[in-house]
Amino acid sequence: MLSREQIINAFAILGKQLHSFCKDRNNAELEQAVSASCIDNYWFNRENIYFALLAIANQMLDEKKLNEWLSAYPYNTQIAKRIKLIAAGNIPLVCFHDFLSILVSGNIAIIKPSSKDKHLLKTLCRLLVASCPSIRERIVFDEFETEKPDAVIATGSNNTARYFRAAYKHLPLLIRKNRYSLAILDGKENSMELKALGEDIFLYYGLGCRNISNIFVPPDYDFNSFLNAISNHAQIMEHQGYSDCFRYQKANAELARQTYFTNGFLILKKQPLSYSSIAVVNYMEYHNIADIENFIAIEKDKIQCVAGHININRIIPFGQSQKPDLRDYPDGVDTLDFLTKV
């Protein structure tokens, strides 16, 4: 029987391979997967994929971190459950944490890959099998959905969530829906913090739920320092899709006579914090920390993460929103706890 130790070892080896690849580009199979992904998905580029691979290697595939994370959870030593994983394709390998969780819990991953991100995970799985051949029996790619699962983990929009609930109502379900992330500024941020916030906003063109798309600011906040600090991202306008979105949103703001700031590649709109469009960050003023904490409490089921340097619960530093660790579960739902109860 495949042991947890074997699985952890295989993932740890994969982590070292990814780290080496991101440094030296020394794996032709991975490089081919990166190239194919950029062709298949208009919103993927090489730099973003390398960032995703390195973040996975550093944050999720360190052997010590894996053992510490898993020490609180049982391993399925009985008949492995078949867990259907319906993946999204908005950012590279967005489903990796769920995939990892299924295998390290002792179960079988029945993967329905996104058509927008179908090469990377398959390549990582081939590398896993190369170092641990017996793990092959725990991985099934089910593009035509012919396999019968025991439970389902699905990621999509609020609309597709309703479809998933109807289609798999007879099974245990863990459904990821739309979420957004926000930052809290107090006017005391230095240029490095503001520059890091720029990474949180622009990485993956802002398409991830962990991208900062909303900002709390104090009254009469001067945005000049912030806009200057993120000027290194001006080249994002070279992407035709992003530049089209920016121009469309700017024209809409002008026609609606909305209050907004811009630096030529980002629009800051003064409006209620919620889901936002590409190239747009919403901002609201706050008068005290209690205002923010109340907002987060009310919106907790819609918020993915909060960045800043003030002292509130579960806040992360600027520049870390796209580097979730093993315990940073998508949607705040403990994936391993769900899997152990299937």
Identify the pLDDT of residue 31: 98
Mean pLDDT over the full length of the chain: 96
Identify the pLDDT of residue 72: 95
**206 pLDDT band (50/70/90 cuts)?**
very high
pTM of the model: 0.96
Question: How far is it, in rounded angstroms, from Cα 19 to Cα 205?
Answer: 23
Question: How far is it, in rounded angstroms, from Cα 148 to Cα 112?
Answer: 12
**166 pLDDT band (50/70/90 cuts)?**
very high
Residue 331, pLDDT > 90, answer no
Sign of the dihedral defined by the CA atoms of residues 21, 26, 30, 31, in that order? positive
Residue 330, pLDDT > 90, answer no
Contact residues for 70 (Cβ-Cβ < 8 A; gap 6+)? 4, 8, 104, 336
Phi, psi for residue 258 in degrees, rounded to 5: -80, 155
For the segment 15-47, what is each residue's pLDDT rounded down to a tens digit? Answer: 999 999 999 999 999 999 999 999 999 999 999
Question: CA nearest 107: which of 172, 146, 151, 165?
Answer: 151
Adjacency order of strands within the sheet including 260-262: 260-262, 267-270, 280-285, 212-217, 180-184, 303-307, 315-316
Extents of the domains making up the chain = 4-178, 180-316
The token duo for 295 is 């907002």
Q: Do strands 267-270 and 260-262 pair parallel, antiparallel, or not at all (unpaired)?
A: antiparallel
- CATH fold, domain 4-178, is Aldehyde Dehydrogenase; Chain A, domain 1 (3.40.605)
Report the CATH number of the 180-316 domain: 3.40.309.10
Identify the pLDDT of residue 113: 96
**160 pLDDT band (50/70/90 cuts)?**
very high
Q: Contact, 335 vs 153, CB < 8 A?
A: yes
Question: CA nearest 47: which of 307, 239, 263?
Answer: 239
